[in-house]
Amino acid sequence: MLGRPPAGDHHADDDIPLVLLHGLSQQRHYWGPVLQRLRGRRVITVDQRGHGDAATDAVGPESDFTMDRLADDVAAVLDAFEVPEAIVVGHSWGASVALHTAARYRDRVRSAVLIDGGLFGPRHLVDDTRSLADVREQLRPPPLGMLEPVLWQAISGGDLSPYWNREVRAALEPTFSADDAGRVTTRLGMDRHMAVLDGLIDYDPAPDVREVSCPTWVVSCEPRGVESGTEAAEEVDDDLSVAWLQARQRTLVDLPRPFFLQRWFGALHDVPLQWPAMVAGLLETVAERIEPPREDPKGA
């Protein structure tokens, strides 16, 4: 795991930093659009184990990708930067790492932010028709090996199409590497990807939800239609996506304190690229007010 402060960072020495943890197969530059909107805030971006610049031969598919190991990695980054406490922010798989870090290192995490992940995961998709092995195969990423122009055409023409610009492409470029023929794969690679996924499958967040004591902000990115109470959202049309949506809804019911739920309707899973200003605004709010918000008195 490699940690980096952003270029041109200026901050007071006593600021509590934000530690940003990317999702599965991504890397620290994924947060670039959000960082551009976090001016003057102390931030540490991290290439998690096996990802980005940490995707070395020494970290192969046989490496330890359990949540305990990943949380220990975050603590090691705090030690390396001589940071006693931090606000730990995770997206997708990184949200699971952030949640487990907040539970495992309660004295090191002042607040946590879980962006579209953390509280629910692959094990929540198991039902009478879908085994854990089925879920694992359904979550296997497609092999790439396509030419680089084809890759960018596919990504820019997908869900991110309305938000596509140079900034978004720059955030995603370090995710991939190309061979001499110009064919692209992820730097993480398929074998490591599945090893990381297995670590996530083995993770049960329920004990951590009970253990966490710091203010923890949960962002749920939900398709249009959910807010109106429709059983299936307008934008969800495949079996696995419907299962994810249903699992999410079950998980987010009656969250205990100190969890504070933000439901962002119309948001994509890749909301740090879609709405970076909104994500930055939430992080600014959490950083400025690290104590939990007070509940309004009855009748106020």
| Statement: residue 242 has pLDDT above 90 | no
Instruction: Find out whether the peptide bond into 215 is cis, omega within 30 degrees of 0.
Output: no
Percent of the chain surpassing pLDDT 90: 70
So where are the chain's domains?
A: 2-288
| Statement: residue 121 has pLDDT above 70 | yes
Confidence at residue 131, expressed as pLDDT on a 0 to 100 scale: 92
Confidence at residue 229, expressed as pLDDT on a 0 to 100 scale: 52
Name the average pLDDT for the chain.
Answer: 88
Mean pLDDT of 114-129: 90
Mean pLDDT of 122-133: 89
Confidence at residue 225, expressed as pLDDT on a 0 to 100 scale: 66
| Statement: residue 125 has pLDDT above 80 | yes
Per-residue pLDDT band at 299 (split at 50, 70, 90): very low
| Statement: residue 10 has pLDDT above 50 | no
Q: What's the gap between Cα 217 and its chain centre?
A: 13
Confidence at residue 230, expressed as pLDDT on a 0 to 100 scale: 52
Confidence at residue 248, expressed as pLDDT on a 0 to 100 scale: 82
Considering only the top CATH level, what class is 2-288? alpha beta
Return the bridge partners of 186, or none: 176
Query: Which residue has 């939430």 as its token pair?
Result: 282
Could you read off the pLDDT of 13-44 as tens digits, one per residue? 458 999 999 999 999 999 999 999 998 889 99
| Statement: residue 300 has pLDDT above 50 | no
Half-sphere exposure of 237 (CA within 13 A, CB side): 2
Could you read off the pLDDT of 154-211 as tens digits, one per residue? 999 999 999 999 999 999 999 999 998 889 999 999 999 999 999 999 999 999 999 9
Percent of the chain surpassing pLDDT 70: 87
Closest by CA to 31, choosing from 81, 89, 96, 113, is: 89
Mean pLDDT of 250-272: 91
| Statement: residue 258 has pLDDT above 60 | yes
Mean pLDDT of 132-154: 92
Could you read off the pLDDT of 55-112 as tens digits, one per residue? 888 899 999 999 999 999 999 999 999 999 999 999 999 999 999 999 999 999 999 9
Confidence at residue 75, expressed as pLDDT on a 0 to 100 scale: 98
Per-residue pLDDT band at 7 (split at 50, 70, 90): very low
